[in-house]
Amino acid sequence: MRSIASTAQLFSMGALTLALSLSGCSSHPTLPTATIQPSATTQVDDYNYLIGPNDTLEVFVWRNPEISGSFIVRPDGKILTPLVEEIDVAGLKPSQVAERITKELANYVREPKVTVSVTNFNGPFSEQVRVIGEASTPKAINYSEHMTLLDLVIQVGGLTEYADGNDAVLIRIQDGKRVEYALRVDDLVKDGDISANVDILPGDIVIIPEAWF
């Protein structure tokens, strides 16, 4: 009898715990929408690469090899160099970083001459292009100058057999607001209709829905 009573008691306690757990889940507050991070590029012909976390910077200080070197941009967007610590470089052009380092080094080196180049390109998230939904390989892609929709589709390996390419949508941040544009990916890829090809800008998000059969 004790065994049966004990089992019933445990079952009752388990049911109560589950009920409380489900009740707690339903009362969780809703998170706010992600912060809008507009791209610095608003025109196709006005693109400059901006440095982002995990980029590798090659910093060369003329006649000062001991303070030159290769530096990885940390997740917080900063680098640490021998003489100048905690330099915030994310979101800047390489030439702007060179100017910033030059200004700081002037406190230690006479008339420093600095050049900065980038390897292992990643860039800020605000400059990457994302493809989600029924792409063969949904992913974030580093933007390249004069990238088009066709280039983007090729990089994600085309669409799945369940994709509704002509109902795809491109989301772009313009003047601080999300703007949606209709895309005709099927016409472009399957029918070769080049008029359906459009320019892509850094920060664009392409959503490819599933077809309803």
The radius of gyration computed from the CA coordinates of the chain, to the nearest angstrom, equals: 26
Output the pLDDT for position 34. Answer: 87
Q: What is the pLDDT of residues 57-73, one digit of tens each?
A: 999 999 999 999 999 99
Pairing of strands 129-133, 205-208: parallel
Q: What is the pLDDT of residues 94-109, one digit of tens each?
A: 999 999 999 999 999 9
Output the pLDDT for position 129. Answer: 97
Q: Locate the domains of the chain by residue range.
A: 56-119, 128-208
What is the DSSP code string of 134-167?
Answer: SBSS-EEE---TT-BHHHHHHHTTSB-TTB-GGG
Q: Band of the pLDDT at 1, cuts 50, 70, 90?
A: very low
Output the pLDDT for position 55. Answer: 97
56-119 folds as: wza like fold (3.30.1950)
Between 15 and 190, the higher pLDDT residue: 190
Mean pLDDT of 41-63: 95
Q: In terms of Cα–Cα distance, which of 37, 33, 204, 35 is closest to 124?
A: 37
Q: Band of the pLDDT at 5, cuts 50, 70, 90?
A: very low
Task: State how far the Cα of 91 lies from the Cα of 119, in Å rounded to an integer.
Answer: 15
In DSSP terms, which residues pair with 118 in a beta bridge? 57
Q: Which CATH number fits domain 128-208: 3.90.79.10, 3.10.560.10, 3.40.50.1820, 3.40.50.300?
A: 3.10.560.10
Whether pTM exceeds 0.85: no
- Percent of the chain, pLDDT > 90? 77
Q: Band of the pLDDT at 116, cuts 50, 70, 90?
A: very high
Q: Band of the pLDDT at 17, cuts 50, 70, 90?
A: low
Q: In terms of Cα–Cα distance, which of 100, 99, 114 is closest to 67?
A: 114
Output the pLDDT for position 36. Answer: 79
Helices (H), 68-163: 94-105, 149-155
